[in-house]
Amino acid sequence: MTGTLINVATVLIGGALGLVFGARLPERVRHTVLAGLGLFTAAFGVMLFLDTGNPLIVVASLLFGGLLGEWWDIERGLERLGGWLEASANRGQPNGDSARFIRGFLTASLLFCIGPMTILGSIQDGLTGDFELLAVKSVLDGFAALAFASTLGVGVLFSVIVVFSYQGALSLLASQAQAVLNEAMIQEMTAVGGIVILGLAISSLLEIKPIRTGNLLPALLLAPIVVFLLETIAPMIDLLRTP
């Protein structure tokens, strides 16, 4: 839960600064800062991948996970969910402060909670207590909150309620999974997550090439399954080789 608490704090600080100073921050400054964060996120993703014990497990997980993600069209589903929630919240609302508050609250909540980094960071925090990924996300969310609050108002700050509930729940669920996941499974899940984070940096932060990173999320579930299968099959192969 430490990463989630950091995330809540950065959104509150960034949102508060946005209410006071956001309108005075030049667009070129925002762009440069975001590019720097994108480069750091890409390097962080590579660092996570380098912890893998077997790159072939990562490749297999990404390959079949990507096929499942495209089949289920997870990325499109997330986009539709966000659009539906925003349309539902704004339907029938009067123009003015009330509508502005709701829009700020919902827009920020969706941005901070729907995405691969949220899921990866919360799982990592819950499984291992390592909140580095959520700390990186917190910095990104802090700057985003600053930008949103400067235009959408105080509703952005109230998105921390959703951030705390959603990410906290994911971390708690992940902590329960420790009973069935061993060190090798967690290691390969982290490596796969590093590749997904790299894709997110390339597509969303640096805007180099569009990548449907949401469709790679099933790879996180497949990585421990692949490790389990290899751990099960290897002793059988050794047994067959024994004269």
Tell me the pLDDT tens digit for each residue of 156-194. Answer: 888 888 788 888 888 888 888 777 788 888 889 888 988
pLDDT of 93 > 60? The answer is no
Residue 114's pLDDT band (cuts 50, 70, 90): low
Provide the pLDDT for residue 68.
94
Q: What is the pLDDT of residues 147-156, one digit of tens each?
A: 778 777 787 8
**What CA–CA distance (Å, rounded) separates 139 from 3?**
11
Mean pLDDT of the chain: 80
